[in-house]
Structure 1
Amino acid sequence: MDVFDITAPLVRGMPVWPGDTPYQFNLQWTIDQSGSVNVGRLTLSTHTGTHIDAPYHFDETGKKVHQLDLRTYMGPARVIHLPGRTTISQADLLPYGLRGVERLLIRTDAWQGREEFPQTIPHLSPDAVPLLQEIGVRLLGVDVPSIDPIDSKELAAHHALHQHGIHILEGIVLNHVPEGDYELIALPLPIVDGDGSPVRAVLRAK
């Protein structure tokens, strides 16, 4: 069975949202110091690398990470390839016959140089969201840092998805994944009161 790791590696110097917490891993203790073990220490944002957004991230009344239904983040998924877009609209999605797809992952190939944070990204047009709800999508994943434009303050796509009961997975790595049907596993950590969480996201081919 083919397994595709679609998680961005966590490494010092990796790009993070401008102004957000830089990722760091250090050894707090070494075997020489402790006499028995190496023990690491992590410093990172809840939106580092491949991550999920809890609704609380952009809505004060939204659910927090520990309140999310884990079943949303595991199960059948469809990968589609939409390169060369500036926006992803309803018209882009209609030809794919997505009815019944609960977890939709969109490969844009827009973020090629992952050692730097992108200046612009393709983003989801809010007009696509009612269609996603109608066909049964519960989780939308993208291979860029956000489903909205980098400079957006309104976060129209985030809010539209939330209003239609669709959860968000961002920063997945799909450049090595063909279009098709898979099983997704992308579980958030149980961060009490969290606004988001890094995930280890994998796809298993059916």
Structure 2
Amino acid sequence: MKKLWDISPPVHAGSPVFPGDTAYSQQWVARIGPGCPVNVSAITLSPHVGAHADAPLHYDPEGAAIGAVDLQAFIGPCRVVHAIGCGPLVRPEHIAHAMDGLPPRVLVRVYERMPQDRFDTALPAFAPETVALLADRGVVLIGIDSASIDPAESKTLDSHQTIRRRGLRVLENLLLDDVPEGDYELIALPLKLTTADASPVRAVLREL
């Protein structure tokens, strides 16, 4: 069998969220016992907790909800590119070594170890010119192991607006700590949430 890399961080009550966003919580509404054969829980969370796909609705008031987004971008050939320690922005020079023969999906690893116990207010993000360069090369999906493709303090969301204009899809909060640089098959399907601005994904990479 082909090797799988699970690139989804664990989701639980301690999972970091953007300041002010809704953290994960879970309550039991039924427990196995006399007269009840099952456990049933109710969960509350932002759709941006853990590995997730942003919908155009997240950054465009007229954009599509995640349930209406075509799934094709979220499955297929993918390249993982290391830009560890690149600083606040992934610039074109940080990924120049991996640009030959790009597949349609590119995931960029910026952390040596992704912070899973805190929100990184200094999170590394994409420079908008890097997003534009990847779009020019035929890339249809970009991803990153930080919480956003834009700096946490950004109010203009330049990289999100670049993917809006260029029609790209995006994955954030991936766990790439143990993934070598190279080519894989990506499988990271969002849920069919018909009115939501994002969706959790169970993202995996499979060796080619």
TM-score normalised per structure 2: 0.94
Query: Which runs of no fewer than 5 residues in structure 2 stay unpaired?
Result: none
Q: Distance in 2 between matches of 1:136 and 1:56?
A: 23
Q: Give CA deviations for 1:68-92 in whole Å, capped at 9, x if unaligned.
A: 0111100110001111112111222
Q: Distance in 2 between matches of 1:66 and 1:112?
A: 28
CA RMSD after TM alignment: 1.4
Corresponding residue number in structure 1 for 2:149: 147
Residue 128 of structure 2: which of 123, 126, 129 is its match? 126
Q: Distance in 2 between matches of 1:45 and 1:61?
A: 20
Q: Distance in 2 between matches of 1:202 and 1:19?
A: 28
Pair 1:164 & 2:166 matched: yes
Q: Describe how 1:7-26 pairs up with structure 2 within 5 A.
A: 7-26=8-27
Question: 1:101·1:137 contact (CA, 8 Å) conserved in 2?
Answer: yes
- Counterparts in 2 of 1:111 and 1:117: CA distance versus 1, 3 Å: farther
Q: Distance in 1 between matches of 2:45 and 2:74?
A: 22
Question: 1:120·1:149 contact (CA, 8 Å) conserved in 2?
Answer: yes
- Counterparts in 2 of 1:34 and 1:168: CA distance versus 1, 3 Å: farther
State the one-letter code of the partner of 1:101: P
Moved more, 99-108 or 195-204: 99-108
Give % identity.
40
State the one-letter code of the partner of 1:156: D
Question: 1:30·1:37 contact (CA, 8 Å) conserved in 2?
Answer: yes
- Counterparts in 2 of 1:38 and 1:164: CA distance versus 1, 3 Å: same
State the one-letter code of the partner of 2:73: T
State the one-letter code of the partner of 1:198: P
How much does 1:121 deviate?
Answer: 1.2
State the one-letter code of the partner of 1:51: H
- Counterparts in 2 of 1:78 and 1:34: CA distance versus 1, 3 Å: farther
Q: Distance in 2 between matches of 1:39 and 1:89?
A: 46
Query: Which runs of no fewer than 5 residues in structure 1 stay unpaired?
Result: none
Corresponding residue number in structure 2 for 1:137: 139
Corresponding residue number in structure 1 for 2:47: 46
Three-state SS of the structure 2 residue aligned to 1:56 is: helix
Three-state SS of the structure 2 residue aligned to 1:200 is: coil
Three-state SS of the structure 2 residue aligned to 1:128 is: helix
Question: 1:110·1:144 contact (CA, 8 Å) conserved in 2?
Answer: no
How many residues matched? Answer: 206
Q: Distance in 2 between matches of 1:12 and 1:178?
A: 29
Q: Distance in 1 between matches of 2:114 and 2:178?
A: 12
How much does 1:111 deviate?
Answer: 5.5
Q: Give CA deviations for 1:146-167 in whole Å, capped at 9, x if unaligned.
A: 0100111110000012211111
State the one-letter code of the partner of 1:23: Y
Corresponding residue number in structure 2 for 1:80: 81
Q: Distance in 1 between matches of 2:132 and 2:116?
A: 31
Three-state SS of the structure 2 residue aligned to 1:52 is: strand
Q: Give CA deviations for 1:10-56 in whole Å, capped at 9, x if unaligned.
A: 11121111111110122210012652100011110011111010011
